[in-house]
Amino acid sequence: MGALSIRNVRKSYGSQDILKGINIEVEDGEFLIMVGPSGCGKSTLLSMIAGLDSVTSGEIYIGGRMVNHLSPKDRDIAMVFQSYALYPSMTARQNISFGLDIRRVPKAERDQIVERVAQTLQIQHLLDRKPAQLSGGQRQRVAMGRAIARNPILFLFDEPLSNLDAKLRVEMRTEIKLLHRRVGKTIVYVTHDQVEAMTLGDKIAVMRAGEVMQFGTPRQVYDDPANLFVAGFMGSPSMNFIPSEIVTLGGGIGLRMVSDGVTQVLPLNGAEAKLKTYLGKEVIVGLRPEKLTHKVDALCGMPHIHVIQSLVHVAEPTGPDTLLLVRINGKDVVCRVHPDHARAHGENIELMLDFSKVAYFDPQTELRIA
Amino acid sequence: MTAAQAPSIGKAASTPGGGLLDWLEGALPKIVVAPTFISALVFIYGFILWNGYLSLTSSRMLPNYHFAGFIQYATLFANERWWTALRNLALFGSLFVFGCLAVGLFLAILLDQKIRAEGFIRSIYMYPMALSFVVTGTAWKWILNPGLGIEKTVREMGYPHFNFDWLVNPEFSIYTVVIAGLWQSSGFVMALFLAGLRGVDDSIIKAAQVDGASLPVIYWRIVIPSLRPVFFSAFIILSHIAIKSFDLVMALTGGGPGFSSDLPATFMYTFSFTRNQIGMGAASAMMMMMIVVAVVIPMMYSELRRGRHD
């Protein structure tokens, strides 16, 4: 059994269901991300793993041990909070050693652990300061030090980077990743930031309204979203959803795409079988912005590449690439184009649609068709 | 641009008679503040100085201004009744201040446990503060009166040898003042502490729980140390109430039996206004001020200096 196993866990306050049957398995040493918009229940689930919130039904196992009725201190976990939650009247050193002190670790050993942790996090020079004398990033380090010092089998992180400014957040993200590699312990990490989720996680659980919408590796979640929600939530700028009608094309079926009055029917590559029942109906075509780019002659003619003409409505240079807004089937569609090939607004551009990673969704059920 | 233009427009609009308006605009804040400032200057600091001078004269029933050096202070410190008042102040002050802090903190911690009807219970504890000390003193005089209150009630309940005569016992009369003072002020201290407790970040307590601390340990080592500023405010407020205590003693014991529950404030009143010793009363008033200064100033100084570092 893995480090953490969540089995059919539910949480309700009165008649209101906060979590509706969560199942997650995490292997030893894995980095699990729970991501979702606010109110999806991810923080509640984390509190339940920590033992700060009760479980309505279902079981939580940590290291193979059922912990439903254990108090937080007996679960062998450590937690890092969004607000850092450092003890204000203690120095950084006392903050880090408090948990050890409570567990009656001898003083000499305690000092040794604090020293080692401080070295790992490079906070030796801060040990005698009070939290109020530390900057946000430094407080975050001390809070992580407090967690590491206890050497638990499971680390819980509750949106630890959301109080930091953008630059520091990227730095700390890398550090958390390095730390995970060095410590090698299982981490459960809650965030609402899909970039953090993609960069840090070994496994991602995308949650909405108390349900896990998809559970998988970052690649699976990004390339093979199970439904419209996951497809739209992961990735920035988010995936384009183009409603298109399935029409007959030659002997088979194709997608009707209308851009600025020009109608084109694009063949479906290998998805005909699953889309046949939708003939004459609309499906939602999910295409990531990076799959809509300027025409590259060398790639044209490959079966999954299609070229359409479009009028640029808005051009937004971001530096590495320029985002162009075009209209297809009445929807605004974002294309990611190399700046050298970008066009200004009002001009026409030949766009290359790469259907190799295309996803089709049912507009009613919002589930993936193919 | 607009900022540069604004003054010139203002000037142009107010050319006729503008001098007076401009002057008024600048002087208005000073005019508004002046009465308070002047009355504070005259009635507080002016009278302190006047009292200070009186304490150095040989004034008896009416003030006179013949400088007599420190003779009043010498007679004051030779007076047994003054020493009783000082001893009582030390006893009453420390029991009242630390008692209020302890009871207030305890009640606040109990109230902070997310209990039902908290607002209702909080109001009950806060109500004594709405009374004046005279009312408190009178009520407790009846409650503690051996022939009327607790002692009589318990004896009637079938314990004829029950004794609770502190109010009329010179050895214990000062403790009755402590009881009434505690009853009146600890609810207020509780409100101060409760506000402080509410300011403690919830996740700090959760973090300590995960760290393995029990609830008493969390309060003792994390929450209470973080209430330091509240302790400071409460201490300052309570100690000046204690030092200036007058109405409570007057209503409850009248300084008696004899002068066993005298405090410096009642001593000062008695000597200045009923025993025609204005000089000595003034000297005792100066001593009271010195005590306030001696207690409050060092604390304020150290606390404000700390505040800048934190």
In a domain, A343, yes or no: yes
In a domain, A368, yes or no: no
Alpha helices, H only, B112-170: 118-130, 133-144, 150-156
Q: Using alpha carbons, select from B231, B278, B299 the residue that is nearest to residue B64.
A: B278
**Range B142-166 average pLDDT:** 81
Give the residue with greater pLDDT, B308 vs B118.
B118
Would you tell me the crossing angle of helices A166-183 and A107-121 to the nearest 10 degrees?
Answer: 130
**A62 and A158 housed in the same domain:** yes
In a domain, A155, yes or no: yes
In a domain, A189, yes or no: yes
Q: Which of B203, B212, B222 sits opposite A103 (nearest CB)?
A: B212
Query: Does B160 have pLDDT greater than 70?
Result: yes
User: Over pLDDT 90: what percentage of chain A?
Assistant: 31
Cβ–Cβ below 8 Å for A77 and B208: no
Q: State the pLDDT at residue A204.
A: 93
**A15 and A94 housed in the same domain:** yes
Q: State the pLDDT at residue B308.
A: 53
**A188 and A258 housed in the same domain:** no
Query: Does B10 have pLDDT greater than 70?
Result: no
Query: Does B103 have pLDDT greater than 90?
Result: yes
User: Over pLDDT 70: what percentage of chain A?
Assistant: 99
> Where a domain ends, among A186, A206, A233?
A233
Which tokens is A105 given? Answer: 């670790």
> Where a domain ends, among A183, A204, A233?
A233
What is the ipTM score, two decimals? 0.80
Q: State the pLDDT at residue A142.
A: 92
Query: Does B11 have pLDDT greater than 60?
Result: no
Which tokens is B196 given? Answer: 């402080």
B211 touches chain A (CB under 8 A): yes
Torsion angle defined by CA atoms of residues A122, A123, A124 and A130, in that order, rounded to the nearest 10 degrees: 180
User: Over pLDDT 70: what percentage of chain B?
Assistant: 93
**Using CA atoms, how far apart are residues B223 and B220, in angstroms rounded to an integer?**
6
pLDDT tens for each residue of A111-120: 999 999 898 8
Residue type, position A291, single letter: K
In a domain, A126, yes or no: yes
Q: State the pLDDT at residue A215.
A: 93
> Where a domain ends, among A233, A257, A286?
A233
Q: State the pLDDT at residue B17.
A: 60
**Range A271-275 average pLDDT:** 77
Q: State the pLDDT at residue B43.
A: 92
Q: Which of A52, A90, A98 sits opposite B206 (nearest CB)?
A: A52
> What string of DSSP letters covers A243-278?
EEEEEEETTEEEEEEEETTEEEEEEPSS-HHHHGGG
**A249 and A289 housed in the same domain:** yes
Q: State the pLDDT at residue A230.
A: 92
Which residues constitute the domain of residue A110?
4-233
Q: Which run of H or E residues covers position B105?
A: helix B80-111
Cβ–Cβ below 8 Å for B211 and A82: no
CATH at residue A174: 3.40.50.300
B209 touches chain A (CB under 8 A): yes
Helix (H, G, I), strand (E, B) or coil at A298: helix
**A227 and A257 housed in the same domain:** no
Give the residue with greater pLDDT, B302 vs A335.
A335
Q: Which domains does chain B have, with CATH numbers?
A: 2-54 (no CATH), 71-309 (1.10.3720.10)
Report how far apart the first and last C-alpha atoms of chain A are (Å, whole number): 33
> What string of DSSP letters covers B164-189?
--GGG-TTTHHHHHHHHHHHHHHHHH
Q: State the pLDDT at residue B307.
A: 57
**A289 in Cβ contact with A326 (< 8 Å):** no
pLDDT tens for each residue of A292-321: 888 888 888 788 888 888 888 899 998 888
Q: State the pLDDT at residue A222.
A: 92
**A244 and A336 housed in the same domain:** yes
**A229 and A244 housed in the same domain:** no
Q: State the pLDDT at residue B16.
A: 55
Alpha helices, H only, B145-277: 150-156, 173-198, 202-211, 215-218, 228-244, 247-252, 264-269
**A63 and A210 housed in the same domain:** yes
Alpha helices, H only, chain A: 42-50, 92-102, 107-121, 136-149, 166-183, 194-200, 218-223, 228-233, 272-275
In a domain, A367, yes or no: no
Cβ–Cβ below 8 Å for A85 and B204: yes
Enumerate residues 6+ apart whose C-beta is below 8 A from B110.
none
Q: Give burial (CB, 10 Å; 0-12/13-18/19+) of A272.
A: middle
Q: How confident is the model at residue B104 (pLDDT cuts 50, 70, 90)?
A: very high
pLDDT tens for each residue of A225-238: 999 999 999 988 88
**A211 and A258 housed in the same domain:** no
B-chain residues near A87 (CB < 8 A)? 204, 207-208, 221-222, 226
pLDDT tens for each residue of A125-136: 999 999 989 988
Count of domains forming chain A: 2
**A265 and A332 housed in the same domain:** yes
Would you tell me the crossing angle of helices B80-111 and B118-130 to the nearest 10 degrees?
Answer: 160
Q: State the pLDDT at residue A239.
A: 92
**A139 and A161 housed in the same domain:** yes
CATH at residue A257: 2.40.50.140
pLDDT tens for each residue of B242-291: 888 888 888 888 777 777 888 888 888 888 888 888 888 888 989 988 88
**Using CA atoms, how far apart are residues B297 and B291, in angstroms rounded to an integer?**
10
**Using CA atoms, how far apart are residues A298 and A107, in angstroms rounded to an integer?**
69
B232 touches chain A (CB under 8 A): no
B114 touches chain A (CB under 8 A): no
**A202 in Cβ contact with A217 (< 8 Å):** yes
**Using CA atoms, how far apart are residues A279 and A56, in angstroms rounded to an integer?**
45
Residue B48's CB: how many other CB atoms inside 10 A?
13
**A127 and A52 housed in the same domain:** yes
Residue A204's CB: how many other CB atoms inside 10 A?
29
A54 touches chain B (CB under 8 A): no
A129 touches chain B (CB under 8 A): no
In a domain, A369, yes or no: no
Alpha helices, H only, A202-350: 218-223, 228-233, 272-275
